[in-house]
Structure 1
């Protein structure tokens, strides 16, 4: 590995642009190459993120990028309906992988990828960037240390209005699912604070094709705690989150999944706290992958693969309960 970690980006959609902007803010990381399924989008992307020092190599196919020996790690930014195919291709090329969430469409296919990465000894992680956000990490640590006393309730919701022309959000053949796209964030937040629930009950609004467009779930834990989560691609909720107990409350402002601050309230007092965030927040997962690769780690303690699979199992259960199409 050279002094700068050389990234390749697979696909050129919106999330790839967000990632590339933050990649430029990370020391010892460089965008080396980008691939699309045709040359023109790849070249336009490469030109947009060219610097005085270098211009990324543009490839008109994913296979060409994976054949580039100078790519140290690949960020898979394709729709989650393609992730299994694309990640396995990366592994066949011997590449370390950071794959956009949701990792796959089902827990079984996610476990397949995890097992394959471990068999080959390759670094692998889901790009659940929320988990690496410094404010999320501090909220989780404070909750675990008893800042809220005994936790009784966790709440989180997230959503937006999906553009009607964005096929990946509506077409079941492309893995469309509001749960997989945005519901994964409130579910992961509840998991970070309380772990796996003893019981889960979910409801959802489905499209005519069986795509879950909006939903909610209540999670019950053996210690008596309850989590209330919701997600939608049909409206604009307040996108906040909180952790409440008999000793206080931690509140995350909108949008809770990449906060720049949070509030710690107890009795009649409230303090605004903040950990510095680099860029839009993707920089922290990029830096974490770099740290792991430099230290020879094949899994990140901040992005643990077994927990990724366990959360996929919970999403499988939700989609089964509501009767959603699984792609």
Structure 2
């Protein structure tokens, strides 16, 4: 941070698509945050985004934003394949980086990003917003405390239908398109954050004509016979739930488990659904955490740690290896 005494964190955003709009909307709800600058390859798009969210600066290239010494933190929301390049650019200029998931295209790229952050002594974190949502933290605490006993099995899915369209980032192989990196990361995250690294993994996938995965089914196998059944698909709408079957009850994160949702707990005695009364889209929670890290002059999150990000991307790498998905 340029001045560790000031209370306002001045943010920049690189990549001004759908996710960036959501992040900017929630950033406006945080008292000690200001959207200072935005950058797109298009000046028209940058100007429009800047006007919509009242940013002071609108750049038509990412390099100009990275050189702006007034910026404390940058949120990177470009396509997956650009994450490493954009992150390294900002880190080189000493700007803290919150980079959208997946952190990068593979473990090698993630290692390079983390190495640069350590070299520059600058804060870097993967923006996997689910980790910071109150309902997910509630479930993690219940599982860690074994409130309903040990986990016997878990299931998590994420699926929606999209007509195949090579003009869409979601289907562009060079940008890391397909179900696995874009949405399969969430069921995998749910397994790793609750059960840890699996002993073995099985996976199978279907593919679109351009070689990206249309759907992916995964089974993570743990000691004591615990299994995590995971699924991602662009071929159909699925419940998009995360369910944890425990010895003395079942914890279900309801539809859109990765975003603000409700939690239903079922035991022999009763069924109860907990509403967390979200007032925002949900991106403010990770931003607030990031702001706190900056103010405390931390260079790594204790929640979304480097080790966890490495484990997440390397698990994705292993699944890609099993299903023979090459970018």
TM over 0.5: yes
Look up the match of 1:258. 259
What are structure 2's unaligned runs of at least 5 residues?
none
The aligned residue for residue 111 of structure 2 is 111
How far apart, CA to CA, are the structure 2 residues paired with 1:205 and 1:268?
42
How many equivalent pairs are there?
322
Task: Give the equivalent residue in structure 2 for 1:46.
Answer: 50
Q: Offset at 1:27?
A: 1.5
- Is contact 1:292–1:300 with CA below 8 Å preserved after alignment? yes
What's 1:216 paired with?
217
Q: Secondary structure at the match of 2:223?
A: coil
Shift of 1:120: 1.4
Q: Partner residue of 2:66?
A: 66
Question: Is contact 1:252–1:259 with CA below 8 Å preserved after alignment?
Answer: no
* 1:131 corresponding residue in structure 2: 131
Partner residue of 1:122?
122
How big is the alpha-carbon RMSD for the aligned residues of Structure 1 and Structure 2?
1.3
Give TM-score, length-normalised by structure 2.
Answer: 0.95
Query: Contact 1:5/1:28 (CA < 8 Å) preserved in 2?
Result: yes
Q: Does 1:102 align with 2:102?
A: yes
The aligned counterpart of 1:150 is: 150
Match of 1:286 in 2: 287
User: Cα deviations across residues 186-208 of structure 1 (Å, max 9, x unaligned)?
Assistant: 11011111000001000111122
Matched residue, 1:274: 275
Partner Cα separation in structure 2 for residue 166 and residue 235 of structure 1: 20
Q: Does the 8 Å CA contact 1:251/1:263 hold for their aligned counterparts? A: yes
Write out per-residue CA displacement over residues 185-235 of structure 1, whole angstroms, 9 at most, x where no aligned residue: 011011111000001000111122221121110111113211011001121
User: Helix, strand or coil for the counterpart of 2:304?
Assistant: coil
Q: Which residue is equivalent to 2:86?
A: 86
Task: Write out aligned runs for 1:229-240 (5 A).
Answer: 229-240=230-241
User: Which residues of structure 1 form unaligned runs of 5+?
Assistant: none
Q: TM-score, normalised by structure 1?
A: 0.95
User: 8, 13, 18: which is aligned to 1:14?
Assistant: 18
Note the alpha carbon deviations across 1:160-182, whole angstroms, 9 max, x for none: 22352653211211111311100
Alpha-carbon distance, 1:278 to partner = 4.4
Task: Please tell me whether the aligned partners of residues 99 and 125 of structure 2 are also in contact (alpha carbons under 8 angstroms).
Answer: yes
Contact 1:204–1:216 (Cα < 8 Å) also in 2:
yes
Contact 2:260 2:281 in 1 (8 A): no
Secondary structure of 1:223's counterpart equals helix
Q: Distance in 1 between matches of 2:89 and 2:297?
A: 22
Q: Is the deviation greater in 4-13 or in 141-150?
A: 141-150
In 1, Cα distance between equivalents of 2:148 and 2:225:
15
